[in-house]
């Protein structure tokens, strides 16, 4: 059959061989606690590329040490991280996959002993620290850190950068009225809450010409949180700034109970794509090839991000192709397994 899931997708000068993206997933495996990649990371990312994922995206990678979720997070705050990240890239590229890095700052959700930062001094829950309210100098420091990280991402050989603006981490904390109670230019109106992300994008684009994605939480599961109208405003602004794709997840901004069902976040990606014309990625309990094919064929999203299914099975794309009756060529060495 003709599969759209297994058709190439071009963004700027980067061509993905198919529409399957490995969703960013923290592995908490930088054992040296200095943000450097460990042997686990090399095997982990290369395996998914061998499994025929079109775009392998790294886990949230911290742009400053105090922006880690844990001390075992990957980091990109120093030139010393480049060597390990290059090695991750070599593994991914060996199998014809493209690579992406998710640049992140955990904000008030950093589970660290060091001081943590956020737009407003409100803790996420009783377990985590109360963040320091960021001064203008702190804001400038983080914007510069995202820019420096983008330069290092380029030097490390990544094809695509994604900014982590979802799940209640720093960028999301500025976007959301639930976590941003500032009275300066960075808080209040939807426009002001977008300012921090806007400046991060501008700074990154000064050093990065490649495809740039942003992940957002398209539902905050709280009646006083951002609404679809806010997300559409953010999406239109991102489109104006030249963002290539919005990866639409949900939740994590404040503690909330969510009822996940198959494809539970797809409608947000679909609405943003349809109403603003910006390409989107869909993610969340997409577990079958048929489901993924349906999403791209019906143009509900342009790319399909797969998380836990790829942790269970690095060869998930092969399994999806088999389901669709599509003859996907895997690694030559394993050809007899699929004959």
Ligand X SMILES: Cc1cc2nc3c(=O)[nH]c(=O)nc-3n(C[C@H](O)[C@H](O)[C@H](O)COP(=O)(O)O)c2cc1C
In the complex with ligand X, which residue's Cβ is closer, 145 or 283?
Answer: 283
Q: Which is nearer to ligand X, 99 or 249 (CB)?
A: 249
The two tokens of residue 68 are: 């880690």
CA distance 97 to 55: 6
Q: Give residue number: closest CB to ligand X.
A: 307
Pick the closer one to ligand X by CB: 142 or 166: 166
Q: How far is the CB of 2 from ligand X (least distance, A)?
A: 25
Q: Quickly list DSSP for 97-110.
A: -EEEEEEE--GGG-
Start-to-end Cα distance in the chain: 17
Least spacing, CB of residue 73 vs ligand X, in Å:
8
Residue carrying the six token digits 């589970």: 111
Q: How far is the CB of 310 from ligand X (least distance, A)?
A: 8
**Closer of 187 and 235 to ligand X (Cβ):** 235
CA gap 147, 308 in Å, rounded: 30
With b for 16 or more beta-carbon neighbours within 10 A and e for fewer, the 121-137 pattern comes to ebebeeeebebeebeee
DSSP secondary structure code for residue 298 in this structure:
T
Tell me how far, at minimum, the Cβ of 25 lies from ligand X, in Å.
4
Tokens linked to 95: 């199998």
Return the number of the residue (156 or 172) whose C-beta is nearest ligand X: 172
- 60 by Cβ neighbours in 10 Å (0-12 / 13-18 / 19+) ranks as buried
Query: Cα(72)–Cα(293) distance, rounded to whole angstroms?
Result: 35
**Of residues 240 and 312, the one with the C-beta less far from ligand X:** 312
Q: Residue 167 CB, nearest distance to ligand X (Å)?
A: 6
Residues that bind ligand X (CB under 6 A): 23-26, 59-60, 102, 164, 166-167, 215, 249, 283-286, 306-309
* Smallest separation (angstroms) from ligand X to the CB of 177: 21
For CA atoms 294, 300, 304, 308, the dihedral sign is negative
Tell me if 143 sits within 8 A of 136, measured CB to CB.
Answer: no
By beta-carbon proximity to ligand X, the closer residue of 109 and 215 is 215
Of the candidates 162, 149, 160, the one whose C-alpha atom is nearest the C-alpha of residue 98 is 160
Minimal distance, residue 215 CB to ligand X, in Å: 5
CB of 250 to ligand X, least distance (A): 9
CB closer to ligand X out of 169 and 196: 169
Helices 316-324, 289-297: axis angle to 10 degrees equals 70
Of 246, 260, 263, 234, nearest to 175 by C-alpha is 234
φ, ψ of residue 57 to 5 degrees: the values are -105, 135
In angstroms, the CA 68 to CA 112 distance is 8
Based on CB atoms, which residue is closest to ligand X, 53 or 283?
A: 283
Q: How far is the CB of 336 from ligand X (least distance, A)?
A: 29
């Amino acid at each position: 059959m003709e599969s759209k899931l297994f058709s190439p997708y071009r963004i700027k000068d980067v061509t993905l061989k198919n529409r399957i993206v490995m969703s960013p997933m923290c592995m908490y495996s930088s054992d040296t606690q200095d943000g450097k990649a460990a042997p686990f990371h090399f095997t982990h990312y290369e395996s998914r590329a061998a499994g025929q994922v079109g775009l392998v995206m790294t886990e949230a990678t911290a742009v400053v040490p105090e922006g880690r979720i844990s001390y075992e997070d990957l980091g990109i705050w120093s030139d010393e991280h480049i060597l390990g990240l290059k090695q991750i890239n070599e593994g991914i590229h060996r199998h014809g996959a493209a690579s992406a890095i998710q640049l992140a700052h955990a904000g008030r959700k950093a589970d660290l002993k060091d001081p943590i930062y956020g737009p407003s001094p409100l803790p996420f829950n009783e377990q985590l620290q109360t963040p320091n309210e960021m001064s203008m100098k702190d804001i400038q420091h983080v914007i510069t850190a995202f820019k420096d990280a983008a330069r290092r991402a380029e030097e490390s050989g990544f094809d695509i950068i994604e900014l982590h603006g979802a799940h209640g981490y720093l960028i999301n904390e500025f976007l959301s009225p639930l976590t941003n109670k500032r009275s300066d230019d960075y808080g209040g109106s939807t426009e002001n809450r977008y300012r921090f992300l806007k400046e991060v994008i501008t700074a990154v684009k000064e050093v990065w010409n490649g495809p740039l994605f942003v992940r957002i939480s398209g539902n905050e599961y709280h009646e006083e949180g951002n609404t679809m109208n806010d997300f559409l405003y953010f999406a239109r602004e991102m489109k104006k700034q030249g963002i290539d794709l919005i990866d639409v997840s949900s939740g994590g901004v404040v503690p909330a109970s969510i009822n996940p069902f198959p494809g539970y976040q797809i409608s947000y990606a679909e609405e943003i794509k349809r109403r603003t014309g910006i390409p989107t990625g869909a993610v969340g309990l997409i577990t079958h090839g048929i489901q993924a094919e349906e999403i791209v064929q019906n143009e509900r999203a342009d790319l399909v991000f797969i998380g836990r299914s790829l942790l269970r099975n690095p060869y998930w794309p092969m399994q999806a192709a088999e389901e669709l009756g599509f003859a996907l060529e895997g690694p030559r060495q394993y050809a007899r397994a699929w004959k």
